[in-house]
Amino acid sequence: MTPGPSDPAEPSAPGDPHPDLLTVLPRLTQLSAAFNKGRLTERAAEAAGLALDRPAMGVLVTLRTADQALRIGEIADRMQVVGPHVTRQVQALERRGLVHRVADPHDRRASLIEPTGAGLDAANRYVASLLGWFAEALADWPRQDREDLTRLLTRLADDVTARLARLDAEE
């Protein structure tokens, strides 16, 4: 049974190094399971009228939120995946007319990827669907709670990402 919002946290075992964080782990697992089992990204794609899988939508959303054309490596870094994975997705999106390559003005040997008008429209519909879902889920939350969630989740994501990058650099 997954603990509910008002259930007390499991008591920590003697010697647990971070008992306050122990209560966060099941919540992260609960959110991940809810998103995956609930097929949130697939439902958002369907609602937006898109027949794209999650990785392809990830590339489009990454380009949409960047507000600029990006190199394959930059897309991969932002998505925290490897370059060849992004290359395959970009090629598939190119065939569908959702992205195209443009010359990098700083390096003629490289190209940048940017969404086409159709790609930008698709990304906007998808994002609107996702944001609508989250807005409904948080509709009863006070404004301050929503702002705190945004601030703290941003901080957590940034700190975890930076720490993982430092670990990768040490290897």
Q: What was the pLDDT predicted at 45?
A: 87
The mean per-residue pLDDT over the stretch 95-123 comes to 93
Give the model's confidence band at 83: pLDDT under 50 very low, under 70 low, under 90 confident, else very high: confident
Give the model's confidence band at 11: pLDDT under 50 very low, under 70 low, under 90 confident, else very high: low
This prediction's pTM? 0.75
Domain spanning 38-139 has what CATH number? 1.10.10.10
Tens digit of each residue's pLDDT (9 = 90 or more) over 112-160? 999 999 999 999 999 999 999 999 999 999 999 999 999 999 999 899 8
Q: What CA dihedral angle connects 66, 69, 70 and 72, to 10 degrees?
A: 120
Q: What was the pLDDT predicted at 151?
A: 97
Q: What was the pLDDT predicted at 103?
A: 92
106-110 contacts, C-beta under 8 A, 24 or more apart: 110/71
Q: What was the pLDDT predicted at 70?
A: 96
The mean per-residue pLDDT over the stretch 32-54 comes to 84
Q: What was the pLDDT predicted at 1?
A: 43
How far CA 118 is from CA of 7, 60, 98, 115, in Å, comes to 46, 11, 6, 8
Query: Domain-by-domain residue ranges, the chain?
Result: 38-139, 141-171
